Structure 1
Amino acid sequence: MPEHDSSYAEHEKKIAENASARRNSYWFSKMKAVFREIDDQTACIPKRGVLKFLDLGCCPGGFTSYILSKNSNAQGLGISSELEHGGHKFLLEDRHRSRFKIHYADLTYYRLAPLPASVTSDTKIHPVLPFDASKRFDVVLLDGHQLRKHSPARPGDRDRLLISQLIIGLQAAKHGSTLVIKLADAEQVTTAKLLHMLDVLTTRLEAFKPRGMHATRGTFYAVAQGVGEGRGASRLLALIDGLKELWVDLTIGGADGAGRALGDEDLNFIIGTAELREARQLDRLVELGQRVWAVQARALAGLRDPPLADAGIGGLEDPFTVTPAIAVV
């Protein structure tokens, strides 16, 4: 390669690297601010005391940084995709790194249930999780997302990631712990069924849409506190087993055995669609989703929300009465 071509290529590479570094830094700061919003509204992170947490999809590290900064006794463990496979760079501050251990892997390739030998011979399949399966955590964060560079894409990759996180998270959650998960479109059947599952397994469930990010999108965070202490807590193990069976089908199902997408009836082991359509279930779904829809409506209208300290549900609704058409009806 001529010298000037080599210099130009190196120059372009540096520009790309600098742009990527700026994006990662921006994303890190925004995610830290997002979790501050979540914690301000739900008080899910104690300031003092022993705190063990699991952060799935942890890079670039904003959620982890917030927790370790707030609680000097907190210790965490995370799993995130490798940088070379499109993952974000881990930007956790040096002063916190001794209290956090990160493992790099694709969450969808952990063997979370028995698979045929022909599948388990796939070199991408990890036979065990990178931490002791008996370990339990006070806080579990499920914020993994499908990477744009993920290639080759398989049918239902996004759904398999969601179900994988739920299996790992529910198994790792300590009795009475807090679980935070990113979901999308509360009015959709599959999301509504997952919200119902969290609602019956825990003592307190809130759906929260950060205004710093996600405001105009369908995504939001469900914050479930008191895991394993809800009115349906006796179903926990059976529900995890149901998720595992579904994970197998999403992984090797489909016409060619390459996996498939999640369907509305796949979560009937949680609650049937007919029961979900009953008035009391719809009323609860609207109760959970009201603040999410209100924030989204205001953002789409270009209106500013009141300060967080004053942001009760009523304050966010005005001037909207936001109850979208519920798709489960």
Structure 2
Amino acid sequence: MPDYLKMMEEIAWETHFDTTCFKIQNKASPRPQILDMGMAPGGFLSIALKHNREAQAFGFSLPVSDGGYEILVKKRPDVVIKELDVTMLAADLGIDDMPEESPDGRPFLSRQFAPGQRFDLVICGCSIVRDHPVLIVREGCRLRASQLALGLQRLSSGGKMVVLFHKLEAWDTLLDLYRFSRFSDKVQLCKPETGTGHDKRSSFYMVATGVRSDKLEALDAIESWKDLWKAATLDIDGKLMKEVRDEEPAVQTVLGGFGDKLKDMIRKVWSTQAKALKEALVINSIKK
């Protein structure tokens, strides 16, 4: 497991080298504030704290007993860690008309954030873990929507967000990149080459800087993610999910206003992945 922490720290360093994502320059309070929505093993938060020595941090991590990773960074008084499932934070999402339990029997959680709590840097790096007790097919959708809604909702205007995405060609990914482009000063994509097999996978990081979390477009995005989370959590027959999807912008609208910018953004991501896959094929052919 320590090797996994080292790998995540190397990925964080590479991402920062490409984007300067972890340096907080415009803090909204005397001490920089960092939120990590899925911190274990702690590699990204560790590097973020190295670049912001005076920062305070607040992190969530799925308990090991539920299939989460072990937290490997040293405990420190300026870092608050809560071990819980971020997909169950209905109260913090502001959704009050929820049953006590989800359809799979897991209880929804009480509020975890303090009133008015804001952050200058938000890291959304959660991913589905193999041992997570998932009975809802759309768990990945719930995880993405809850991270983005809570993260943007708690981000100080002008702050930064670092988000792990998968499958650049997927509609949900394109739609979220389009959304961020509408209320951020700059959106960059980074495909780290560090780590065993990381460059061959579909994953990549989005770094949004100058995120205007108080803009109407940002507020609309938050509400859309909340609706998506609720539909993915409670919708059994598919009717609620269809209503949510019907409210999304048309593909022509997204590509018409974002297509050219998207082509420039994705070029390096796919180039890195294509190179890694080609090298893997060559290596495999030599072994044979």
TM-score bucket (shorter structure) = 0.7 to 0.9
Residue identity opposite 1:289 in structure 2: I
| 1:227 matches 2:211 | yes
Residue identity opposite 1:235 in structure 2: E
Unaligned runs of 5+ in 2: 281-288
Aligned to 1:77: 58
Superposed displacement of residue 147, structure 1:
1.3
What whole-Å deviation, never above 9, does each CA across 1:61-106 have from its counterpart, x for those lacking one?
A: 1111112223211211100100111111111135xx2221100001
Superposed displacement of residue 229, structure 1:
7.1
Aligned positions of 1:1-329 closer than 5 A:
24-46=1-23, 50-94=31-75, 97-111=76-90, 112=93, 113-117=95-99, 119=101, 124-128=107-111, 130-213=112-195, 214-228=198-212, 233-255=215-237, 266=244, 269=247, 271-278=249-256, 280-302=257-279
Secondary structure, counterpart of 1:102 in structure 2: strand
Unaligned runs of 5+ in 1: 1-23, 304-329
CA 1:53–1:81: 2 relative to 1, 3 Å = same
CA contact (8 A) 1:176 1:227 kept: yes
Aligned to 2:286: none
CA contact (8 A) 1:115 1:248 kept: no
Residue identity opposite 1:81 in structure 2: L
Secondary structure, counterpart of 1:144 in structure 2: coil
CA contact (8 A) 1:37 1:210 kept: yes
CA separation in 1, counterparts of 2:185 and 2:24?
Answer: 21
Superposed displacement of residue 284, structure 1:
1.8
CA separation in 2, counterparts of 1:123 and 1:216?
Answer: 35
- The number of equivalent residue pairs is 270
CA separation in 1, counterparts of 2:24 and 2:265?
Answer: 27
Superposed displacement of residue 115, structure 1:
3.0
CA contact (8 A) 1:133 1:172 kept: no
CA separation in 1, counterparts of 2:81 and 2:212?
Answer: 26
What whole-Å deviation, never above 9, does each CA across 1:134-192 have from its counterpart, x for those lacking one?
A: 11101000001111101243110111000000111011111100001001122221110
Residue identity opposite 2:109 in structure 1: H
Percent identical pairs in the alignment equals 26
CA contact (8 A) 2:179 2:217 kept: no
CA separation in 2, counterparts of 1:26 and 1:219?
Answer: 20
CA 1:266–1:47: 2 relative to 1, 3 Å = closer
What whole-Å deviation, never above 9, does each CA across 1:16-62 have from its counterpart, x for those lacking one?
A: xxxxxxxx211111111111111111112228883210001100111
Residue identity opposite 1:220 in structure 2: F
Pair member with larger Rg: 1
CA contact (8 A) 2:153 2:213 kept: no
CA contact (8 A) 1:137 1:173 kept: yes
CA separation in 2, counterparts of 1:47 and 1:120?
Answer: 37
Superposed displacement of residue 223, structure 1:
0.3
Secondary structure, counterpart of 1:141 in structure 2: strand
CA separation in 2, counterparts of 1:52 and 1:115?
Answer: 31
CA 1:204–1:185: 2 relative to 1, 3 Å = same
Superposed displacement of residue 221, structure 1:
0.3
CA 1:300–1:116: 2 relative to 1, 3 Å = same
CA separation in 1, counterparts of 2:244 and 2:118?
Answer: 28
CA contact (8 A) 1:59 1:90 kept: yes
TM-score by length of 2: 0.86
CA separation in 2, counterparts of 1:229 and 1:254?
Answer: 32
Residue identity opposite 1:82 in structure 2: P
Residue identity opposite 2:249 in structure 1: I
